Amino acid sequence: MSFRPLAGSYGFGRVGASPVSFQPDNGSAYLQATLAPAETLRFSFTNNSVFNLNSVDLAEYSTVVPNAVTVHFVGYRHDGSIVTTDFTTDGIIDGTGPLADFQTFYFGKQFTDLDRVEIPTYGWSLDNLVVSIPEPATGALLLVGGLVFGALKSRANRLG
Ligand SMILES: [Ca+2]
Ligand SMILES: [Ca+2]
């Protein structure tokens, strides 16, 4: 999967597994888009495979900017339609303190068969993006198996 900034933005940062005290902490590395200059993110599979978006962990930017943040997701579906959703964090953050900074948000059924997803907003921290490959891939595999079986069967009939 490839993660890139949107054209015209300044890119995004990666925070290591041991953040400084004022950054959100969940024990692992994560991505972060700063407040200024605006940073954004887009992601897609490098092999152009379509995917479903299941869930994501989001947190505020830092204890310096502890406000609840609304993260806007734009999904570009393979059929050309565009779906959007907004997730707003709880505004609870104490950095490396004991409070849970990240929350898990679940995407609706409309976030399926996606070519790519963009986050045109900033001021967030993001981790544990859960994606899956849609069902049709499995159906195609089963179909291939059926064709092979059919070919073997007709050959057997000829031999008989
Ligand atoms: Ca914390
Ligand atoms: Ca939080």
pLDDT of residue 11: 57
Nearest to 39 by CA among 90, 1, 68, 3: 3
Closest ligand (CA of 99): 1
Tell how far the Cα of 21 is from the centroid of ligand 1, in angstroms: 9
Q: What is the model's pTM?
A: 0.75
Nearest to 134 by CA among 88, 79, 72: 79
Mean pLDDT of 109-136: 87
Q: What is the pLDDT of residues 69-109, one digit of tens each?
A: 999 999 999 999 999 999 999 999 999 999 999 999 999 99
pLDDT of residue 60: 93
Closest ligand (CA of 25): 1
Enter the tokens of residue 103: 């929350």
Q: Helix, strand, or coil here: 140?
A: helix
What are the two backbone dihedrals, phi and then psi, of residue 134, each rounded to the nearest 5 degrees?
-60, 160
Q: Hey, what's the torsion of the CAs at 130, 9, 100, 93, to 10 degrees? A: -160
- Categorize the per-residue pLDDT at 24 as very low, low, confident or very high, splitting at 50, 70 and 90: confident
- Pick 135 or 150 by higher pLDDT: 135
Tell how far the Cα of 143 is from the centroid of ligand 1, in angstroms: 49
Give the number of C-alpha atoms closer than 13 A to the C-alpha of residue 122, restricted to the C-beta side. Answer: 15
- Pick 30 or 83 by higher pLDDT: 83
Tell how far the Cα of 100 is from the centroid of ligand 2, in angstroms: 7
Q: Which residues pair with 107 in a beta bridge?
A: none
